[in-house]
Amino acid sequence: MKLRANLVIGGSLFALAILVGLLAPWLAHTDPVMDANLMNAEEPPSWTWWFGTDAQGRDIYSRVLYGARVSLTVGIVSQLINSVIGVALGLSAGYFGGWWDDVVNALTNLMLAIPSLIFALAIMAVLGPGLTSLLIALGLTNWSFTCRLARASALSLRSQGYVQAATVLGYGDARIMITQLLPNMLGPIVVIGTLGMGSAVLSEAALSFLGLGVRPPFPSWGSMLSEAREQITTAPWLSIFPGLAIFLTVLGLNLLGDGLRDILDPQSRSRRT
């Protein structure tokens, strides 16, 4: 059996990020919020402060660990909402066609025309800052690519022999969509989904930067980055480590998506066994 490097590396990185988030209270050296000490402000990385300290003397290592919780929750949950909305709309639009397709297309074009971050901002402005509103705002604004993909897949799959065979065999519309179309388009949807998780992590950073995400002093990778912006020349470790965390998580998600696509394709599965 051939070892799938992308799946293994991507899965490990993503699993590591999740583990770090879950085990943060046990892995962290200090409390990410309370243990500020101005005597230790802006220490560079050392054996005591692995990732250095920030201007308030808080341990960056501990803050990065806790930050994983916010970033991953936002990344996973908001992308799940996006995927569900996108697949439901795109799949039904591609399958049924007609006026419903026109409506969904118009909606998708609208979503693509408005920068999603601006749209998310507007939603946040109504709902107020906080984790829940962040999830809702990002979950409602990034489904258009998934929707496009699902619609295109449904359109091409609809004319496949087995979909027509299913109609002939008396399958209802819902059953055809769930058993015939959905499993056959899952590969690319998963790939887009993992990419979307990465970009949701970045969007969270942007919104936190604007003061609409998770409020300081509680850490998220995005807010840490934005706080570090002013000290990037004097204390680069403030931005390097949260940035690295984002980078590795997004990289892991992309590799994972790649690997999953290979697995979800039954033809490549049998080549392996």
| N- to C-terminal Cα separation, the chain | 6
User: What amino acid is encoded at 73 in this protein?
Assistant: T
Q: In angstroms, what is the minimal distance from the CB of 265 to another protein? A: 8
| DSSP 8-state assignment for residue 48 | S
User: Residue 221: which residues within 8 A CB-CB, separation 6 or more?
Assistant: 64, 67, 68, 70, 71, 201, 204, 205, 242, 243, 245, 246
Residue 158 CB, shortest distance to another protein, in Å, is: 11
What lies within 8 Å, CB to CB, of 195 at 6+ separation is: 253, 254, 257
Name which of 97 and 216 has its Cβ closer to another protein: 97
Cβ atoms 197, 76 nearer than 8 A: yes
- Among candidate residues 221, 212, 219, the one with its CA nearest the CA of residue 123: 212
Closer residue to another protein, CB minimum distance, 128 or 266: 266
CB of 76 to another protein, least distance (A): 24
CA distance 236 to 234: 6
Is the Cβ of residue 67 or residue 187 nearer to another protein in the bound state?
A: 187
Closest approach of Cβ 101 to another protein, in Å? Answer: 15
CA-based R_g, the chain, Å: 22
**Which phi and psi angles does 265 have, rounded to 5°?**
-90, 110
Nearer to another protein, 181 or 212 (CB): 181
Nearer to another protein, 3 or 168 (CB): 168
**Which residues would be at the binding site for another protein (CB under 8 A)?**
160-162, 164-172, 175, 179-180, 183-184, 186, 264, 266-267, 270
Instruction: Please report how close the Cβ of residue 169 comes to another protein at its closest, in angstroms.
Output: 4
> Considering the complex, what minimum distance in angstroms separates the CB of residue 159 from another protein?
10
Structure tokens at 236: 């680069």
CB of 38 to another protein, least distance (A): 60
Per-residue burial over 55-91, b if 16 or more Cβ lie within 10 Å, else e, is: bebbbbbbbbbbbbbbbbbbbbbbbbbbbebbbbbbb
Which residue, 98 or 128, is less far from another protein as judged by CB? 98
Cβ nearer to another protein, comparing 175 with 215: 175
